[in-house]
Structure 1
Amino acid sequence: MEFFVDMVTTVPEGTSEADVDDVRAREAANSAKLADQGHLIRLWRPPLAPGEWRSWGLFRAADADQLEQVLATMPLRVWRHDTVTPLSPHPNDPGPGNS
């Protein structure tokens, strides 16, 4: 299954820049690992308001439970709220395998 995940991060006030940098570095490394495993398919940055920290992701998992396990490995999750939308194939999808 594929899932669209809207990820909104809110860093707690008083968090040091060093702590933010550390979590972001660990997030980047983990994202690469999830991509290698086939779970993280794409990431986008939507238009942002000043000070907003948000990403959109396309994830692949066997089911919602596995997706939750995948999302739980992401270091930014401690500061993030995720909105998950399960996706279903569309009969007119021009994507790979639909020719």
Structure 2
Amino acid sequence: MREFLVELTTAVPDGTDPAEVDGRRAAEAVRARELAAQGRLFRLWRPVGELRSIGVWRAEDEPELREKVLGSLPLWPWMTAVITPLESHPNDPGRTV
């Protein structure tokens, strides 16, 4: 599997019922745990004071990442994603050859 740096920003559409937002957010937490258990979501951060997330995700390729992994997130219809494919750096201190 390849690794991808993914920046996700969620924008809830104006007029959305708060109960729907709460339900999707709760389902999002459940789905994130499932994806982590599957090895698809490796790490996830939220920049201090911001409503976006930055994470390392794993998939066979970018189409799989978009369609099957990120596309399975309940908040995905409200998200924009910046996806950067990653490769190992020869000087990575955590690299195992």
TM-score between the two structures when normalised by the length of structure 2: 0.91
Q: Which of 65, 68, 72 in structure 2 is aligned with 1:67? A: 65
> Offset at 1:97?
1.9
Partner of 2:91: 92
RMSD: 1.3
Could you give the per-residue CA deviations for residues 6-44 of structure 1, whole angstroms, max 9, x where no partner exists? 101000111122111100001000000000100000110
Question: Which ranges of structure 2 fall in alignment gaps of 5 or more residues?
Answer: none
2:88–2:95 contact (8 Å) kept in structure 1: no
Question: Which ranges of structure 1 fall in alignment gaps of 5 or more residues?
Answer: none
After TM superposition, the runs of 4+ consecutive aligned structure 1 residues lying more than 2 A away are none
- Indicate the percent of aligned positions where both proteins have the same amino acid: 48
Structure 2 Cα separation of the partners of residues 79 and 44 of structure 1: 19
> Offset at 1:96?
4.9
Please give the residue correspondences for 1:11-90 in structure 2 after superposition, counting only pairs within 5 Å: 11-48=12-49, 53-68=51-66, 69-90=68-89
- The one-letter code of the counterpart of 1:36 is A
Structure 2 Cα separation of the partners of residues 57 and 27 of structure 1: 15
Q: How many residues align?
A: 95
